[in-house]
Structure 1
Amino acid sequence: MIHLLHNPVWAALSTHQSYMNQGDETLKYFPADICPFVGLENWGEEDLRTLSTSLPSDRTFSMPLSKEVVLPDDFQVVFAIPLYQMICQHFQPFENRAIAMVPLTEVHVPQMLRLTEQTKPGPFYQRTIAFGNYHGIFDADKLVSMAGQRLQTHTHTEVSAICTDPLYLGKSYAKALTSHLCSLITSAGKTPFLHVRQDNAAAIGLYQKLGFEISTEIFFTVFRKK
């Protein structure tokens, strides 16, 4: 089943998260206030024409894929970066009882938006919390670290939005939160996976200590209609 994660958006919106699909059976994408991801079953030249004819023109989209895709001429690339996809087949838990983690709810969204805007872990919008299982660490009333889940198939769940206020780095907050999310995912009978920038050696090392291994390269592209 791991190969399905080479086209993770299509895999998620065709299975566990099909209820979130705003497209159809050919082109699938999430609601604009939850996630910018779009998916096609295949990304050949003819398939890509569907983007031109069927995607809304008033929003920005992104696609994480295990291969590079040349978009039709009527799109402009806003941002592109190579990532690694990492899968946790052999979870190695990390526990620090001194670190208090609490579930995050809609009341925390303003702080979640501020933290993700500050740290740039990836797209996070007003209703991204709908993906569920977001947890955070607070200093008094201030949210200083968080993580949650995003894409889900029937067999795999993505850990996402892992971020920490720069003033609170070095306290193992990200490691504790990622481990906690992995525990929830494996307890539900699924396998955790995540995406990380290829130049983020510190994060890659942290995830490897938890049992994650690099499975494939992912090309992450943000684009919109011209």
Structure 2
Amino acid sequence: MADDAVLDDPVGESLRGHHAHLARRVGRAATYLPDVATFSAISTDPDATDWADLAHLLGEGAFADMFSRPAQPPAGWEPVFVLDGRQMIWPEGKQAPLPHPVLDLGPDDVPDMLALVDRTRPGPFWKRTVDLGTYLGVRDGSGTLVAMAGERLRPPGWTEISAVCTSPEARGQGHAARLVAALTARVLARGERPFLHVAEANTTAIALYERLGFVTRARVTFQGFTTPTTASGRNAGSTGTGPT
């Protein structure tokens, strides 16, 4: 049975575990490699040293996407955005949905994936985001990629479904439902449970996920900051050893 307590810190759990090979770390601060993801994580009980380590890791004036962490940074960190959302999970023991025929996407599809993201704005997606896990898609009769969804965070026992998007001209055809169902079936088949995050204002997506069988686990707050731009350096007591 997957422990849902790890979902309280999905970024940190992923960077310490399944995605450790995609991480940079200083002390108790960690972030993804460039072009993979912008998410960063610190200790669940951060002190001044942890924040200084993260600032050192990211660099001055850099973007820190703290995802669903409630911890507030010290003075000098400038807020970029705050967004209310919810975390939804697949109920334990619920039968897997029937998978539908979809295409597996890989590195050769990245230009088309980036073009689709540019048209639909589903959230952060970079050149190497595909390295996080499986991505599936739908192409129209002309070969244009018109819908996709994939795997992102991987805390122990769980896989996040993300980047769910459909080009405007292809909406209303059930592509998102088929892609999420296919990913859900694959995650369950390997003994894990799927979860996802969605903005509270995105009522259409919430309704879709509920129809598929997902339930709300928690309300979350997504937050982004820029690191201090003054030459503050790192605290003398920092235990960080530098980026790896």
TM-score (norm 1): 0.91
| More deviation, 131-140/215-224 | 215-224
The answer to whether the Cα contact below 8 Å between 2:99 and 2:181 also exists between their aligned partners in 1 is no
The CA distance in 2 between the partners of 1:113 and 1:21, in whole Å, is: 22
The answer to whether the Cα contact below 8 Å between 1:150 and 1:157 also exists between their aligned partners in 2 is yes
Match of 2:201 in 1: 199
Are 1:51 and 2:77 an aligned pair? no
The CA distance in 2 between the partners of 1:105 and 1:54, in whole Å, is: 29
The answer to whether the Cα contact below 8 Å between 2:133 and 2:151 also exists between their aligned partners in 1 is yes
Q: Which amino acid aligns with 1:35?
A: A
Residue 222 of structure 1 deviates from its aligned partner by: 2.1
Q: Which amino acid aligns with 1:107?
A: D
Are 1:128 and 2:129 an aligned pair? yes
TM-superposition CA deviations, 1:71-130 (whole Å, max 9, x none): 233222222211101011254555485xx4101111211111111122111100011111
Structure 1 regions of 5+ residues with no counterpart?
none
The CA distance in 1 between the partners of 2:60 and 2:129, in whole Å, is: 21
The CA distance in 2 between the partners of 1:92 and 1:43, in whole Å, is: 37
Are 1:213 and 2:215 an aligned pair? yes
Q: Secondary structure at the match of 2:24?
A: coil
Cα distance change, pair 221–70 in 1 and its aligned pair in 2 (3 A): same
Q: Secondary structure at the match of 2:25?
A: coil
Cα distance change, pair 2–201 in 1 and its aligned pair in 2 (3 A): same
Residue 19 of structure 1 deviates from its aligned partner by: 1.7
Please tell me whether Structure 1 or Structure 2 has the larger radius of gyration of its CA atoms: 2
CA RMSD of aligned residues (A): 1.9
Q: Which amino acid aligns with 2:54?
A: L
The CA distance in 1 between the partners of 2:153 and 2:19, in whole Å, is: 8
The one of 167, 170, 185 aligned to 1:168: 170
TM-superposition CA deviations, 1:123-164 (whole Å, max 9, x none): 000111111210100112100000000010220000010000
Q: Which amino acid aligns with 1:104?
A: L
The answer to whether the Cα contact below 8 Å between 1:28 and 1:38 also exists between their aligned partners in 2 is yes
Structure 2 regions of 5+ residues with no counterpart?
230-244
The answer to whether the Cα contact below 8 Å between 1:92 and 1:211 also exists between their aligned partners in 2 is no
TM-superposition CA deviations, 1:138-195 (whole Å, max 9, x none): 1121000000000102200000100001111111110100000001100010010000
The answer to whether the Cα contact below 8 Å between 1:92 and 1:209 also exists between their aligned partners in 2 is no
The answer to whether the Cα contact below 8 Å between 1:35 and 1:124 also exists between their aligned partners in 2 is yes
The CA distance in 1 between the partners of 2:72 and 2:91, in whole Å, is: 32
Cα distance change, pair 95–187 in 1 and its aligned pair in 2 (3 A): closer
The one of 74, 87, 90 aligned to 2:76: 74
Match of 2:111 in 1: 110
| Count of residue pairs brought into register by the alignment | 223
TM-score (norm 2): 0.84
The CA distance in 2 between the partners of 1:85 and 1:111, in whole Å, is: 28
Cα distance change, pair 198–89 in 1 and its aligned pair in 2 (3 A): same
